[in-house]
Structure 1
Amino acid sequence: MFQIRPQSTSTVRHLALGGLFALIATAAAAQAGAGLGSDVLQRVQQIATQGVAAGLPAQARVEVDVGKLDPRLRLAPCAQVQPYLPAGLQMWGATRIGLRCVEGASRWNVSLPVRIKVYARAIVAADPLASGVVLTQAQLATAEIDIAAEPGAVFIDGAALVGRTLLRPLAAGEAVRNNVLKQRQVFAAGDRVTVLASGPGYSVAGEGQALGVGLEGQNVKIKFENGRVVTGRAIAERRVEVLL
């Protein structure tokens, strides 16, 4: 089974490439009445290229819609506007980018709405499907969709969905996401599981013992041989994902 899910903030920072932050910085500068220096643009490029988009297919196509600052804001002129990623936010779907004045008579800190669209081929309903349907291969198709448009991981392997039960109806062409499927147990308490740990620019795997039942998409505690206990998300048969 292969699922595409939004990653942590650190692992999706480069999705918009240089364009996202360049557009944001330009828009912010124009609205704040200030220009951008080459040093700021260089920093923007550094931020934009950080991280690794783990879990995204190579052919994914990214589009960025940059919104507008709240028209009620009255921002003082600023010689240097710095874009940054607010803590806890992901560059996925509807989100926000922070903008702060770091050189000006009056320091300010605001946020700018952006929408990240990630187009990739994924499994969708071939026809309208009712709640409670047990999926078959004939009911599934593949299409290019915006996988960041709604919450929930999408699938690229239809075989992984055969036999799964829908929790709600799906329209024809709608993505089959993990949050529309009846939850299933992927391992039992005490089972040995593979733990996948990922962070900015790296991914490692190890083994541990499940301290609870692994329900797909839910958190569970895992104990390593050295006694360390971590919390991860059950993602597949005897597999747990931990984001660092």
Structure 2
Amino acid sequence: MIYRFATTALVACLAACPLAAAASQSLDVLRDSAVAWLKQNRTLPGARMVAEADPLDSRLRLADCAAPLDVSVPGNRPISSRVSVVVHCPAPGGWTARVPVKVRMLMDVLVTTRPLARGDGLGAGDVRAEERDVASLAYGYVASLDQVSGRALARPLNAGTVLTPGMLAGRQAVRVGDAVSMEASVDGVVIHADGVAMGAGDAGARVKVRNASSGKILDAVVSGPGSVAVLP
């Protein structure tokens, strides 16, 4: 009788009490890790990054990683308004997941205060600094009057126009084929290398450059005569 009662109780428990599930990786930790890595490694100098990871599929089940997560963005593409961040568990039998992140790179840029004509020079009263999302400015931007000193406008501009290097006539700090000094920041360490300009422009213009040693083509911003800053 006692044996029958114990057997019945065991069967009932197996039916009603689920087995302990293996520990699963928190999806919120994946999202937070992707955002934190972007802010630490891919923020432009002088800019303020605002990043938000998209919700991940709640059906995604990943084993809890026994090692620190490895986070990266493949390739050398500049950060845009949407980034796919790779989060990898390097432990044996680990997994890899992609976290979509919306990014804004906020920075003070120059905006015209009044209508300006072609050939006009630019003074302090012609522009003002406004915070804009430079990740969405495909044609570059101008951050200070020092970058446009002695320059004239190549075309007329309306008030409230974000000033870009392509709107300015005259001087070119870098020309196609010029040997340039490349500066890049990798994990907080500044690295210098020799390169060749594949585009032309003044300070603030986006150009392609070729690493003289590796031959790799990189995106960069002209920082001055013969020098460029490689985009993260």
TM-score by length of 2: 0.55
Name the amino acid aligned to 1:98: V
Among candidates 60, 64, 67, match of residue 51 of structure 2: 64
Write the mapping of 1:94-243 to structure 2, written as runs, cut at 5 A: 94-98=82-86, 109-112=97-100, 114-129=101-116, 132=118, 134-137=120-123, 138-162=125-149, 163-166=151-154, 171-181=158-168, 184-186=171-173, 195-200=181-186, 201-205=188-192, 215-216=200-201, 217-219=206-208, 235=222, 236-241=224-229
Partner SS, residue 155 of structure 1 = coil
Partner SS, residue 186 of structure 1 = coil
**Separation in 2 of the partners of 1:189 and 1:45?**
36
Among candidates 54, 57, 63, match of residue 79 of structure 1: 63
Name the amino acid aligned to 2:148: L
**Separation in 1 of the partners of 2:147 and 2:49?**
26
Residue-by-residue CA offset, 1:129-184 (whole Å, 9 max, x unaligned): 57x554422432212222223224322212422524346x6553332133554585
Name the amino acid aligned to 1:56: P
The alpha-carbon distance between structure 1 residues 35 and 144, as it changes in their structure 2 partners (threshold 3 A), is same
The alpha-carbon distance between structure 1 residues 129 and 98, as it changes in their structure 2 partners (threshold 3 A), is farther
Alpha-carbon deviation of 1:123? Answer: 0.9
**Separation in 1 of the partners of 2:148 and 2:175?**
21
**Separation in 2 of the partners of 1:238 and 1:97?**
33
Alpha-carbon deviation of 1:212? Answer: 7.6
User: For the Cα contact (< 8 Å) 1:123–1:154, is it kept in 2?
Assistant: yes
Residue-by-residue CA offset, 1:65-108 (whole Å, 9 max, x unaligned): 33345xxx7955222486733312544422222356889x9967
User: For the Cα contact (< 8 Å) 2:79–2:135, is it kept in 1?
Assistant: no
Among candidates 93, 98, 115, match of residue 81 of structure 2: 93
User: For the Cα contact (< 8 Å) 1:62–1:116, is it kept in 2?
Assistant: yes
**Separation in 2 of the partners of 1:213 and 1:108?**
36
Aligned residues: 194
The alpha-carbon distance between structure 1 residues 213 and 144, as it changes in their structure 2 partners (threshold 3 A), is closer
**Separation in 2 of the partners of 1:56 and 1:100?**
27
User: For the Cα contact (< 8 Å) 1:93–1:150, is it kept in 2?
Assistant: no
**Separation in 1 of the partners of 2:61 and 2:221?**
49
The alpha-carbon distance between structure 1 residues 243 and 177, as it changes in their structure 2 partners (threshold 3 A), is closer
Query: Which sections of structure 1, spanning at least 5 residues, go unmatched?
Result: 1-32
Alpha-carbon deviation of 1:125? Answer: 1.5
Residue-by-residue CA offset, 1:9-59 (whole Å, 9 max, x unaligned): xxxxxxxxxxxxxxxxxxxxxxxx94439x989977984675474x522xx
